[in-house]
Amino acid sequence: MTKQHLFPVTLAGQWQAPSEALLTVLSPNLSNWLLDQGSLTARLKSCCQQFRVELLGQQQSFCSELEANELIKAGEPVLVREVLLYCDEVAQVFARSLLPISSLTGDEQQLANLGTQPLGQVLFNNPSLIRQRIELASFSIDTDVVKLALELKQKSRETLWGRRSVFMLENKPLMVAEVFLPDAFAYSKKSSLPKGQGKIQASIQANIKDHDVN
């Protein structure tokens, strides 16, 4: 059964900077997934035999006040893309991307025609990529993304956690938000850390310190 009728899901969460206090309510495994600075696509691929992307929908719209930031202004024309990321046919992540139309020039025009190709794979293969700060948000049972999880027949979970970042690609901004669905590796009591755990731990502390300074 297709899930395109659910588009757009949107993500109306209260996004906040990571802090020591916030991380005390999260498991170490979940914190690692949320604050990992690397490619989520690559990390998911390392945890399963078969990875795939399901495109829920894509349409041109305008950036809302809730999603606006210093680099993508409210009312700015954007291309909205929403997908599900699967590992071995289990939906792990819901992702929502905002691609400013002004950023879709030159080689970046390809981002408007990815289909089921993972956006992260394209981004992290570009040496010019710069990731801005990671922000976190929780989503309660009455939010659309939790309703999406129920539609996917996943286990009930009172709160889902997500993250978002603005990326600079060839000095052009775009924003990606990712929410870990109930059956995601991120909620497992068993740690699913890839090689380079020390780098992930360092990125967690860097995120916290960066926000503390600013």
pLDDT tens for each residue of 60-109: 999 999 999 999 999 999 999 999 999 999 999 999 999 999 999 999 99
Whole-number average pLDDT of the chain = 88
Residue 85 belongs to a domain: yes
**CA distances from residue 24 to 11, 30, 73 in whole angstroms, order as listed:** 24, 11, 32
Read off the pTM.
Answer: 0.88
Furthest-apart CA pair in the chain: how many Å?
A: 48
21 occurs within a structural domain: no
Q: Give a yes or no: residue 108 inside a domain.
A: yes
Three-state DSSP state, 29: helix
Distances (CA, A) of 54 to 40, 41, 191, 199: 15, 13, 26, 30
Characterize 107-143 residue by residue with b for buried, 16 or more Cβ atoms within 10 angstroms of its Cβ, and e for exposed: ebeebeebeeebbbebbbeeeeeeebebbbbbbeeeb
Q: What is the pLDDT of residue 104?
A: 97
Give the chain's domain count.
1
Q: Where residue 137 falls among pLDDT bands split at 50, 70, 90? A: very high
**Position 20 in a domain:** no
The CATH code of the domain that includes 61 is 3.40.1410.10
Rounded to whole angstroms, how far apart are CA atoms 6 and 55? 11
pLDDT at 197: 46
Q: Which whole number is the average pLDDT over 179-194? A: 83
Report whether pLDDT(189) > 50. Answer: yes
Of 185 and 208, the structure prediction assigns the larger pLDDT to 185
Residue 23 in any domain: the answer is: no
The answer as to whether 134 is a domain residue is yes
pLDDT in tens, 10-29: 887 889 999 888 888 899 99
Q: What is the pLDDT of residues 111-121, one digit of tens each?
A: 999 999 999 99
Domain limits for position 146? 28-213
Q: Is residue 15 part of a domain?
A: no
Q: Is residue 209 part of a domain?
A: yes
Residue 142 has pLDDT above 90, yes or no: no
Phi-psi label, residue 124: left if phi above 0, alpha if psi -120 to 50, beta otherwise: alpha
